[in-house]
Amino acid sequence: MQQKIKEIFQAKFDKEPILVYSPGRINLIGEHTDYNGGYVLPAAIDKKMVVAISKKGLNTCRLYSVDFKEEFAFEIESFSPKPNHWATYIMGVVAQLQQAGYPVSGFDMVFGGDIPVGAGLSSSAALECAVGYALSTLFDFDIPKISLVHYAQKAEHTFAGVQCGIMDQFASVMGKKDYAIRLDCRTLEFEYFPIELGDYQLMLIDTKVKHSLSESAYNTRREECEAGVKAAQRIDSSIRDLGDVSLDLLDRLDVSNTVKTRCKYVIEENQRVLDACEALSKGDLKAFGQNVFASHQGLSKEYEVSCKELDFLVDYAKNESGILGARMMGGGFGGCTINIVHITEVHRIKEAVSIKYQEKFGRTPEFHLVSPEDGSGRL
């Protein structure tokens, strides 16, 4: 892939580029905890976005997307978001660097990647992080990695109009081969935990479903969690978010059963992340997998952000001796399940799931084998 991107760059611009990359990410456990002051456990993966870049004397920036086979140009001194267009992510990062005082001048860029789009692996965050890293490298800005994370997140907020948390960009930049990152979303303190899978492999199964419920349900879940926090603050004014609320305190809150159930899921999921990290530290994959299964149970029955396709895949996994754990990954109502699958069983399970899923839903899922890799870097 990187060779192809380099050759396309040379053919288009007749010069040698700098090549950098930034990976997609998975989240092993810790879902919908990020905006509740909780923990997440992401890892960068071996699917990435590659950027070829070089300086251009003028103030024009020329872009080419290998995946979309499309060109785009903008003036460095005058540009604005282009809604629903891939160039928006690139221009958003340029705008953030300019606002931070970095003197970005004209450049030529070709980019592409092998991150499956729509599978919840954060291809847009990978592009933003790759662009930030590329500009920092090209112009010798030497931007600290944590600053690149913030610039990429702000680019998504201000240009793409998506109020995302920080997990995707953090994992893409800060990833470490064979490790997951336990990130405290409130303080941004983080710690690496080894992913020693031995005879097991991480496999994503893409439902190929995207329900329109996701955005409205996401907003509703946030409101329900905020209602729980406000009720808790009436009892204890030092509480900032659900990360400060215990199950004992939750029982005493004057809120609806629905709000209690949503908050219970978040509080328990936070604890599951801690328990899962302890299991990883001990190399106890079976205990880790049990926490992953329990996470899906909570997401499906308490937080209610699953769907019949996701539940079907996890129910299959529960009855499969070759799978140690499975759960939905991401915002919900579609996307992928993440599965811990025995290496010798991968082919058989793919075939069996494909047949059963086709019979049930009339479509074939997609499978992606992934492994934890390093974050943003130069090629």
pLDDT band at 162 (very low <50, low <70, confident <90, very high): confident
Q: How many CA atoms lie within 13 A of 227 on its CB side?
A: 17
pLDDT of 22: 98
Task: Tell me the binding residues for Mg(2+).
Answer: 124, 156
Tell me which of 58-62, 119-123, 226-230 is least confident: 119-123
Q: Which residues of 149-186 are buried (b: 16+ CB within 10 A; e: fewer)?
A: bbbbbbbbeebbeeebbbbbbbbbbbbbeebbbbbbbe
Give the percent of the chain with pLDDT over 70: 99
Say which residue the tokens 């990152």 belong to.
Answer: 181
Compute the C-alpha angle 368/340/363, nearest 5°. 45
Q: Which of 28, 349, 328 is nearest to 178 (CA)?
A: 28
Tell me which of 138-147, 207-216, 364-373 is least confident: 207-216
pLDDT band at 213 (very low <50, low <70, confident <90, very high): low
Residues 317-355 pLDDT 10s: 999 999 999 999 988 899 999 999 999 999 999 999 999
How many other CB atoms sit within 10 Å of the CB of residue 66?
Answer: 17
Task: Tell me the binding residues for substrate.
Answer: 31-34, 218
Count helices and strands in the chain by DSSP H and E runs: 11, 13
346: enclosing H helix or E strand: helix 346-361
Task: Tell me the binding residues for ATP.
Answer: 65, 118-124
pLDDT band at 295 (very low <50, low <70, confident <90, very high): very high
pTM reported for the whole predicted model: 0.93
Domains of the chain: 2-192 (3.30.230.10)
Tell me which of 16-30, 41-55, 205-219, 226-240 is least confident: 205-219
Say which residue the tokens 């004057």 belong to.
Answer: 254
pLDDT of 214: 64
Residues 214-219, mean pLDDT to the nearest whole number: 77
Q: Which of 47, 67, 48 is nearest to 368 (CA)?
A: 47
d(CA 329, CA 202): 13
pLDDT band at 212 (very low <50, low <70, confident <90, very high): low
DSSP 8-state symbol, 164: -
Task: Tell me the binding residues.
Answer: 31-34, 65, 118-124, 156, 218
Distances from the Cα of 362 to the Cα of 32, 166, 209, 353, angstroms: 30, 36, 12, 13
Active site residues: 168
Residues 255-265, mean pLDDT to the nearest whole number: 97
Helix, strand, or coil here: 62? strand
pLDDT band at 137 (very low <50, low <70, confident <90, very high): very high
Does residue 13 surpass a pLDDT of 70? yes
pLDDT of 271: 97
Structure tokens at 61: 């920036």
Structure tokens at 309: 């396709």
d(CA 180, CA 232): 32
Q: How long a stretch of residues is the chain?
A: 379
Structure tokens at 43: 């890892």
Q: Which of 126, 162, 133 is nearest to 377 (CA)?
A: 133
d(CA 96, CA 79): 13
Beta strands in the chain (DSSP E): 18-27, 39-40, 42-55, 60-65, 70-75, 107-113, 179-184, 190-194, 200-210, 323-329, 334-342, 366-370, 377-378
Give the percent of the chain with pLDDT over 90: 88
